[in-house]
Amino acid sequence: MNTIPSVDLQDFVSGDPQRKQKFITEIGNAFEQIGFVALSGHFLPDSLVDDLYAEVKNFFNLPQDIKDKYEIEGIGGQRGYTSFGKEHAKGRKEGDLKEFWHFGQYVVDNPKLEAEYPNNVMVTELEKFNVVGKETYKMLEKTAKYVLRALALHLGLDEYYFDEFILNGNSILRPIHYPPITQEPKNAVRAAAHGDINLITLLMGAHGRGLQVMNHKGEWIDAIAKPDQLMINVGDMLSRLTNNKLKSTIHQVVNPPKELWGTSRYSIPFFMHPISEMPLNCLVNCIDAEHPKQFEDITAGEFLHERLIELGLIKK
């Protein structure tokens, strides 16, 4: 597969059984074969996208000393600001050429999880930043819920299998700024080759060259969405749950050609996480003689903790 398939979420929610099944088949096949799709028909209006980009640019344009006060020690970067070069891919020493912000879950009716998750960080200098971030978070979470319902049916599960695990899940909305490159990077790229930790990732801003996906032949292919599309990919948690039936694909954000070094790039992924207690034990119906169980039993919370250590965001 040398291109990223496109699917339309409106097929799934249309009320037409044939269109619904068409979406289930298309996204299921894409996630088995390459682990990425370009999704249209989502719940994110253009006006909200425009507002979010405006607020994100406003934040990253703030003076560095103001941004630095929103970098909160001791929470592994789970909320607020993470400064340039702080995060690196698993197995890499070089920090990625990016700075980013994290919006986290807005917990409803669950005091235990409210106590477990760090609080969202409020930017006092920008009146609309947190309001627009919260609304975007909710619309991407809603989109992800329906995608997971389709995948549940593809896997032979109850349509609502994931619902209880993603309600108040530990999901993250991450606006990323890749600043202009001012000198030849030493072994560093904007985001080194990696797989995502979570169930699925919904990515805004994959409209220009930069994001690349590795296909099964080990070839890098460009992943470019249309302006009204989200790029969606399988994360390691979902790959593990399905015994690698659904593929968590390695991807990267490469540096632009030298003539474009002076430009910023913005990208806004939504990492869909379940609650920590969700078991990631391989589903029984994804194990057979040809596909023996590949992974040890683990919970989502345990797996996330392991990976944050590997990424250098928390210490052992």
pLDDT tens sequence across 107-166: 999 999 999 899 999 999 999 999 999 999 999 999 999 999 999 999 999 999 999 999
Res 240: pLDDT? 96
For the chain, the structural domain boundaries read 6-310
User: What is the Cα–Cα distance from 37 to 31, expressed in whole angstroms?
Assistant: 7
CATH T-level topology, domain 6-310? Jelly Rolls (2.60.120)
User: What is the Cα–Cα distance from 230 to 8, expressed in whole angstroms?
Assistant: 10
Q: Which residue carries 């909320």 as its tokens?
A: 79
User: What is the Cα–Cα distance from 100 to 56, expressed in whole angstroms?
Assistant: 10
Q: How confident is the model at residue 188 (pLDDT cuts 50, 70, 90)?
A: low
- The 10s digit of each residue's pLDDT in 190-235 is 566 788 899 999 998 755 567 888 887 888 888 888 888 999 999 9
- Tally of CA atoms within 13 A in the half-sphere of 128 that contains its CB: 12
Coil, helix or strand for 81? strand
With CA atoms as reference, report the closest residue to 31 among 150, 133, 111: 150
Q: How confident is the model at residue 89 (pLDDT cuts 50, 70, 90)?
A: very low
Give the DSSP per-residue string, 240-280.
HHTTTSS----EEEPPPPGGGTTS-EEEEEEEE---TT-B-
Res 88: pLDDT? 47
* Total-model pTM: 0.89
With CA atoms as reference, report the closest residue to 208 among 224, 232, 228: 224
Average pLDDT value over all residues in the chain:
88
